[in-house]
Structure 1
Amino acid sequence: MCAQTASPVAKGLFQKGIAMSGEYNSLRGVNTTWQAQDCKSRLPTLQEAGKAGERFAAALGCEAQGRDADRQVAACLRRIPAKTLLDKAGNGMAPDQGTLGPIVDGEILTMSPAEAFEKGRVNKVTLIHGVDRDETQMRVAETPEEYEALVKEQYGPLAREVFERYPLKRFPAPAPYVAFRTILADSNSVCPSLLNNERLSRHITVFGFVNANADAPPASFVDQSKPNGAFHVNENQFLQSAMTNASANQQTLGNQLVAQWTGFARTGDPTVDGTPYWSKYTRSNPAVMSLAPAGDSVMTTEIAKQHNCGFWNRYAPFD
């Protein structure tokens, strides 16, 4: 949805959109799960993506020279089984794995979405935009030693200040896991999401949210032995199908989400009967909906302070 909001060729094709969990890549560029592709990342240029594509094709044995080299390479790739292509592509992190995310090609995208948000080069649409409070898309620490090593890997020269802001002694057991999960979520998801709300709200109507539902029914991709908190896209479970394993508290949130998402789709306003009032995000009132079970969702302006966003936003792209 971020790319569509920033794409000139999408102008006039839609009026409203909902962006969920669009910020997740590493803020500092030390991506260990997915190549840079999210709503805040500097995306590869067409030239960079072309070079990556050449390396990917060569790794699969599809190289050619001459005037019709592109046609020969394309024909070679079409003969390779789809599973082989997917296996070789992997997560896009290795030099010969190609690209898995959007690219700035000069036509569909003329710049990375966050840069477009900052410059106001966006389509005139209305958005719901937000993330989950404890989003992580990277390896999480299991021991104090891993906590120290991973903080240094991800944050380099910032590590000392990160340790000061997130000392292990302040977190409950398993402290290394919870502490590093919190750092990843604050730096990679929550604060960039709020910053994109602020950028977008200068130009279009935005309704921001942070999903604080830490007791959602577990999704297939989470380790149920860990305190995952409000994990990545956990609201999807309520929106994609009827929930059969949800508690009464969770079902109440699910009903709220369905009512607000569909109400917004109809009218462009997520405040509908049976749901709490949801104001738009503005510079003078930077409030977001904190989604919670049991009818406890509430508007708040405290998220940025709670998640150290004053610190993290100093290192955000396109500032």
Structure 2
Amino acid sequence: MQFTHNPLRARKYILACAAVTLTLFAASTTSASDAPQVKLGQEALVGTSSPGLSKFMGIRYAQAPTGDLRWKPPVPAAATTGTVDATKPGPGCPQGKSPWGMPSSNEDCLFLNVTVPHDGTGMKFWQRKPVMVFFHGGGFTGGSGDVYNADNLASESGVIVVTVNYRLGALGFLAHPALDAEDHAVGNYGLLDQLQSLRWVHDNIAAFGGDPDNVTIFGESAGAIGIYAHLVSPMATGLFQKAIIQSGAPADETLETAEDQGKTLAEKVGCPAEANSAAADCLRKAPVGKLVSAEATPIAVIIDGKLLTRPIADSLKAGEYNRVPVVNGTNHDEGNLIAAFMFDLSGEPLVAGGYDEALQGIGSFIARVGFSNAAIPAIKKAYPLSRYKTPGLAAAQVITDGVIACPAYETSRIMAKYSSTFEYEMADTDAPSIVAPPISFPYRAGHFSELQYLFDLSSITIKGTPDMTNAQIALGKQMRAYWTNFARTGNPSGKGVPVWPEFQQARSEPVQSLNKPQSRSVGNFAKEHQCGFWETVERK
């Protein structure tokens, strides 16, 4: 079975535009010195402008998920009248301290930001610009959309970029028998938020000059896991037409497993584990701080029976997913940053005597792409400490190859059978480390490092980080062109950039190496990352 795309052409598009047509002529960007305005019904959003850009931040796309709405699917934002200040981002969702965003305890956090390129003619629904919607990473426990400044991504190629906040951690991904007995979709509240943001985009983006029938979703790390979920979810059908998966794996867990974790969390915050209204009431009254500090679950989404009906990998293998064009890729040294946070930045560098224990932790790091303790002897043989300068680098390579690179590569092989697929590896091993200080080994092209080539991440860049070289600046412009070409046409290749061949399922190649001085197609990805070995490892 293939999900239909429900393109919503002609009549539906005209009806969607009709609601805003009467007001667009009076409410659009005027000049660089005037605040840009967009009118949605009786609500006028007032944003900010800079040469070639209008920005609207802190736009509410759902009601505050507080009180009785905590652990409920998002409720669309209520219609309002009058002028609404859209010059500042809304608060991030509740989270602790992390490199990816600011700590927050504010549950009223379901906001998005829209960056619109323009040429001085304003924002008109007939412009039909491509739309890119970004879901941030951060392990489903940290981050916010406003961190990702999309000015260059939007202005260089004329695409509209939307960045989104969604519920995180215990407030976004909690399964508990008391909550799951209620009559609503359960567990994946953060993913339900993402879907609601896409509905908002479909209903409103024409007012900004965007095309609701040309939406590309993209996400990194946990955000990429969310993209996998939307690809296979029947609830997402028709809400997007293309997808970009950055440094993610199809990671999911059963509702039963998630409920066991939820019961443990409930007990930590002083609530019952039983499936009764008292337990649900207790959880909804629990302080945000307690919930944030108590969360500790694997990075995975939940097979809840509605948003996800079975394992992501099973749906992809059967071809039962939203068959849209896909870009899928990883970074050359994904594990280096992750190993840094696991070891060096959590206390001490990994030593040889701790290699077995480290592998045990890595095996349970991400659901579905982990491995059992029984596989550790074979992994140690394939990744002997003697081959690496430090034990930390050995562990990092296991993460790179076994947890991220090869699972993503194998998934591309599967999807290429059914839909256009383009595979990449960001391979600039001189990439600046912007969120972590120096450690016992180099970060190289680590996890998260590709995002600085797509977005301005100065708000979270640590002091003292070296500026990009001219060659890296050029690589960033090239990568942004690939991403926006794909959003526009479904193919990353285009004028002014090296050709990026489509991934061939039969040959499992080529992979586009994104690197300076010039990106190119390579055929040694699987060999370099020992993907043949990882095909033999039993996954959790």
What is the TM-score when the length of structure 2 is the normalising length? Answer: 0.50
Q: Residues 222, 307 of structure 1: CA spacing in aligned structure 2 closer, same or farther, 3 A cutoff?
A: farther
Q: What is the letter of the counterpart of residue 112 of structure 1?
A: P
Distance in 1 between the 2:430 and 2:231 partners? 32
| Mapped pair 1:193 → 2:401 | no
Pick which of 301-310 and 147-156 moved more. Answer: 147-156
> Over residues 246-276 of structure 1, what are the superposed CA-to-partner deviations in whole Å (9 max), with x where a residue is unaligned?
1112111111111111111111110022211
Compute the RMSD of aligned alpha carbons. Answer: 2.5
> Over residues 223-256 of structure 1, what are the superposed CA-to-partner deviations in whole Å (9 max), with x where a residue is unaligned?
4553122111211112222779211121111111
Instruction: Report deviation, 1:148.
Output: 5.0
Distance in 1 between the 2:387 and 2:331 partners? 22
Distance in 2 between the 1:126 and 1:316 partners? 30
CA contact (8 A) 1:129 1:208 kept: yes
Q: Residues 179, 248 of structure 1: CA spacing in aligned structure 2 closer, same or farther, 3 A cutoff?
A: same
Aligned ranges for residues 26-175 of structure 1 at < 5 Å?
A: 39=250, 41=251, 43-63=252-272, 69-70=276-277, 72-89=278-295, 91-92=296-297, 101-136=300-335, 137-138=338-339, 139=342, 142-147=350-355, 149-151=357-359, 154=363, 156-171=373-388, 173=389, 175=390
Name whichever structure is richer in helix by fraction. Answer: 1
Q: Residues 256, 316 of structure 1: CA spacing in aligned structure 2 closer, same or farther, 3 A cutoff?
A: farther
Pick which of 73-82 and 239-248 moved more. Answer: 239-248
Q: Residues 225, 245 of structure 1: CA spacing in aligned structure 2 closer, same or farther, 3 A cutoff?
A: farther
CA contact (8 A) 1:131 1:233 kept: no
CA contact (8 A) 1:192 1:313 kept: no
Find the counterpart in structure 2 of residue 226 from structure 1.
441
Q: Residues 53, 240 of structure 1: CA spacing in aligned structure 2 closer, same or farther, 3 A cutoff?
A: same
Give the SS at the match of 1:208.
strand
| Mapped pair 1:261 → 2:467 | no
Q: 1:203 aligns with which of 407, 418, 423?
A: 418
Distance in 2 between the 1:202 and 1:316 partners? 24
Structure scoring higher RCO (CA < 8 A, sep ≥ 6) equals 1
Distance in 2 between the 1:272 and 1:280 partners? 13
Q: Residues 156, 75 of structure 1: CA spacing in aligned structure 2 closer, same or farther, 3 A cutoff?
A: closer
Q: Residues 316, 222 of structure 1: CA spacing in aligned structure 2 closer, same or farther, 3 A cutoff?
A: farther
Q: What is the letter of the counterpart of residue 492 of structure 2?
A: P
Instruction: Report deviation, 1:182.
Output: 1.3
Task: Tell me the number of residue pairs that the alignment of Structure 1 and Structure 2 aligns.
Answer: 288
Q: Which consecutive residues of structure 1, in runs of 5 or more, have no partner in the other structure?
A: 24-38, 94-99
Give the SS at the match of 1:209.
strand
- Based on CA coordinates, which of the two structures has the bigger radius of gyration? 2
Distance in 2 between the 1:65 and 1:196 partners? 38
> Over residues 90-141 of structure 1, what are the superposed CA-to-partner deviations in whole Å (9 max), with x where a residue is unaligned?
x315xxxxxx642111111111212211221111211111111211235356
Instruction: Report deviation, 1:49.
Output: 2.6
Q: Percent identity?
A: 30
Q: 1:13 aligns with which of 214, 239, 263?
A: 239
CA contact (8 A) 1:218 1:224 kept: no
Give the SS at the match of 1:103.
strand
Q: What is the letter of the counterpart of residue 271 of structure 1?
A: S
What is the TM-score when the length of structure 1 is the normalising length? Answer: 0.81
CA contact (8 A) 2:331 2:447 kept: yes
Distance in 2 between the 1:55 and 1:304 partners? 40
Distance in 2 between the 1:222 and 1:15 partners? 39
> Over residues 6-63 of structure 1, what are the superposed CA-to-partner deviations in whole Å (9 max), with x where a residue is unaligned?
111111111101110113xxxxxxxxxxxxxxx1x3x222333334323322321222
Name whichever structure is richer in strand by fraction. Answer: 2
Distance in 1 between the 2:515 and 2:469 partners? 13
CA contact (8 A) 2:303 2:309 kept: yes
Find the counterpart in structure 1 of residue 515 from structure 2.
292
CA contact (8 A) 2:423 2:512 kept: yes
